[in-house]
Amino acid sequence: MSTNSQTIAQADPKRWKALALLGFANFMVMMDSAIIQVALPAIKETLGYTQQDLQWVMTAFLIFFGGLLLLGGRLSDLFGHRRIFMWGFSILTVASLLAGLAWDDVVLNVARAVQGVGSALIAPAALSIVMILFSANPKELSKALALWGLSGAAGGSIGIVLGGILTEFLSWRWALLIYVPIGIIILLLSPGLLQKGKRLSGRIDYAGAISVTAALVLLVYGIANAEHSGWGSSSTVWSLSVGAMLFIIFIVIQAIKKEPLVPLRIFKTRNLSIGNISLVLLSTAWVPIIYFLVLYLQLVLKFAPFSAAMALLPAPIFMAVFVVAVAGKTMEKLGLKITMVIGFLILGGSGLLFSLNTPVNGDYWTSVLLALLLAALGNALAYLPATTAAVSNVKAEESGLASGLYNTTYQIGSAVGLAIMVAIAAATTESRTAGDAIVALNEGFQQAFLWSGIVALAGAVLALLFVRSQKQSETNAPK
């Protein structure tokens, strides 16, 4: 970090107001993948989705969000963080209007994909601005990153609650249309609170961006397609094979290009690598748990959308209180490794508890609440150290890259994890050819909870083996 950059960060009197705006933007982006979840049954009824295809309301957003985040990070470094941030919100606002007015499933899927494109520009640009604003003071940066993490976690959780309220009392369409006025407000406030930032010289790795995005789309499509076509079908095999081949091509391009989308040298810092891997596993566990819990509440326990939203409300409240009051101090006292391991263990235990204690005749107080609070606690504990490991040791000129990489791993973990867990749930349900349909559906949900918990426990093992202490991390950080 240059002395000039440090001076700017110290001198900016608007940095906390800017953080509030950027945190709210992050809240809105992360909410976009969650606010629609409670509305899924209503969308299915209105637009005629099948149970298997319903996941594309979320997956279309997650694929293009995750697939273009690396490009978004590079664009923000080259053309200025504020400019790309505002372009992203312009795209998100227009796409939200189209999604809210969607007249069939194809239009909604396309609009959700375009929402993902806009979010892929917003997220890395916003986090880069945060890192630059607070780079001069490590304590302020740690606090800012904690608040940033809280805004993302709260967006994912509160989005479910808000989506339920809007669906119950207005329409599922308002869960999408709400982004239009909010997007306009953020666009109006941004020029006064955010600095333009410096533009770097360089080229855009279009070949890398196209290959990695196409690879991710095909891989997720192949997993999702396996639900109804089978793992051995030609469409599934070709999608997965071509997707894997394109991902290998992407890695080769990054290795030989002078200005790649992702310079492979950034992975020399071990905590950055394991931080991103941890985020993949965290999202693979957390997002499906919440997704299937929403379906369990509405389709099995027969909760109305508003009731389901209220049932989930303790989670974001608990996460907010814990992150603000405890998580940062816990990480300072115990370190990245132990905090992350504990978080993954608690989240894994929550998934296992859901798999064993969500019967068809269950009730909220005995089947849901305790495991939900444990999931929220585990997610909060694991998320902060994983995020810190993934972004805190990079050079200022690569902040957009690190931000894009961190967001990519989380969102792709969400998309791939959700596709895998939906496939597991569908296969389990379809294998129960006899008996009550609700019982079969619920057994699929329980299998998804089980494997989500196993993924979280795997995250605990990897964190225990590979995360370095903060002192080691600083010693080996890239200069």
Measure the CA–CA gap between 353 and 374, rounded to whole angstroms. Answer: 10
Residues 222 and 280 in one domain: no
Handedness of CA 176, 178, 180, 186 (dihedral sign): negative
Query: Quick one: average pLDDT of 408-421?
Result: 80
Residues 236 and 358 in one domain: no
Q: Of 242, 260, 278, which residue constitutes the final position of a domain?
A: 260
In contact, 61 and 217? CB cutoff 8 Å:
no
Residues 179 and 285 in one domain: yes
- Output the six-digit token pair for 234: 């030609």
Element at 319 (helix H, strand E): helix 314-322
pLDDT, averaged across the chain: 79
- Say what the pTM is: 0.74
Domain around 370: 3-204+261-476
More confident residue, 28 or 331: 28
- Output the six-digit token pair for 184: 């306009």
Residues 168 and 36 in one domain: yes
At 328 the three-state DSSP class reads: helix
381: Cα within 13 Å, side-chain hemisphere:
26
Residues 124 and 219 in one domain: no
Residues 163 and 269 in one domain: yes
461-470 pLDDT tens trace? 988 888 776 5
The candidate with the shortest Cα–Cα distance to 182, out of 111, 89, 277, is: 89
Greatest CA separation for the chain? 70
Q: Of 260, 283, 307, which residue constitutes the final position of a domain?
A: 260
Measure the CA–CA gap between 387 and 397, rounded to whole angstroms. Answer: 19
> Residue 409 is part of a domain; what is its CATH number?
1.20.1250.20
Residues 467 and 326 in one domain: yes
Residues 197 and 288 in one domain: yes
- Flag whether pLDDT at 449 surpasses 80: yes
132-155 pLDDT tens trace? 777 666 667 767 777 776 777 677
CA distances to 117, 275, 387 from 479, in Å: 32, 19, 20
**Spatial CB neighbours of 332, under 8 Å, sequence gap ≥ 6:** none
- Flag whether pLDDT at 475 surpasses 60: no
More confident residue, 476 or 436: 436
Measure the CA–CA gap between 387 and 30, rounded to whole angstroms. Answer: 15
Residues 96 and 221 in one domain: no
459: Cα within 13 Å, side-chain hemisphere:
37
Query: Quick one: average pLDDT of 348-367?
Result: 90
pLDDT at res. 197: 64
Highest mean pLDDT: which range of 209-213, 214-218, 274-278, 295-299: 295-299
In contact, 179 and 163? CB cutoff 8 Å:
no
pLDDT at res. 323: 66
Residues 23 and 146 in one domain: yes
- Flag whether pLDDT at 474 surpasses 60: no
In contact, 292 and 444? CB cutoff 8 Å:
no
Residues 173 and 211 in one domain: no
Domain count, the chain: 2
Residues 13 and 90 in one domain: yes
Q: Of 260, 294, 327, which residue constitutes the final position of a domain?
A: 260
pLDDT at res. 4: 41
Which amino acid is located at 144 in the chain? A
More confident residue, 41 or 94: 94
82-141 pLDDT tens trace? 888 889 999 999 999 998 898 887 888 889 989 988 988 888 788 778 777 776 666 677
